[in-house]
Amino acid sequence: MGLIRGLVLRSTGSWYDVRDSRDGHIWQCRLKGKFKALGLKVTNPIAVGDYVDFEIENEGENFGIIHEIVPRENYVIRRSVHKTAHAHLIAANVDQAILICTLVFPRTSLGFIDRFLVAIESFRIPGVLVFNKQDLLNDEMKDFQGELMELYTGLGYRCLATTALAKEGLNEFKTLLNGKVSLLSGHSGVGKSTLVNAIAPNLDIKTQEVSTFANKGVHTTTFAEMFELEKGTFIIDSPGIKELGLADIEREEISHYFPEMRDLLNQCRFNNCQHINEPGCAVKDAVSEGKIALSRFESYLSMMAGDDNRK
* pLDDT at 39 (0 to 100): 61
Asked whether residue 289 is assigned to any structural domain, the reply reads yes
Examine the domain organization and report whether 181 and 42 are in the same domain.
no
Number of domains observed in the structure of the chain:
3
Over residues 268-279, the pLDDT tens digits come to 999 999 999 999
Over residues 60-94, the pLDDT tens digits come to 999 999 999 999 999 988 766 565 667 778 899 99
Examine the domain organization and report whether 19 and 138 are in the same domain.
no
Rounded Cα gap, residues 126 and 250, in angstroms: 20
* pLDDT at 84 (0 to 100): 62
Which pairing describes strands 210-211 and 181-185: parallel, antiparallel, or unpaired? Answer: unpaired
Nearest to 114 by CA among 99, 124, 125: 99
Range of the domain at 67: 4-72
What lies within 8 Å, CB to CB, of 2 at 6+ separation is 55
The burial class, CB within 10 Å (0-12 / 13-18 / 19+), for 105 is middle
Over residues 250-290, the pLDDT tens digits come to 889 999 999 999 999 999 999 999 999 999 999 999 999 99
Examine the domain organization and report whether 99 and 157 are in the same domain.
yes
Examine the domain organization and report whether 11 and 110 are in the same domain.
no
Asked whether residue 311 is assigned to any structural domain, the reply reads no
Rounded Cα gap, residues 94 and 48, in angstroms: 10
Q: How many CB atoms lie within 10 A of CB 299?
A: 24
Examine the domain organization and report whether 196 and 231 are in the same domain.
yes
Rounded Cα gap, residues 210 and 15, in angstroms: 31
Examine the domain organization and report whether 85 and 231 are in the same domain.
yes
Rounded Cα gap, residues 254 and 148, in angstroms: 21
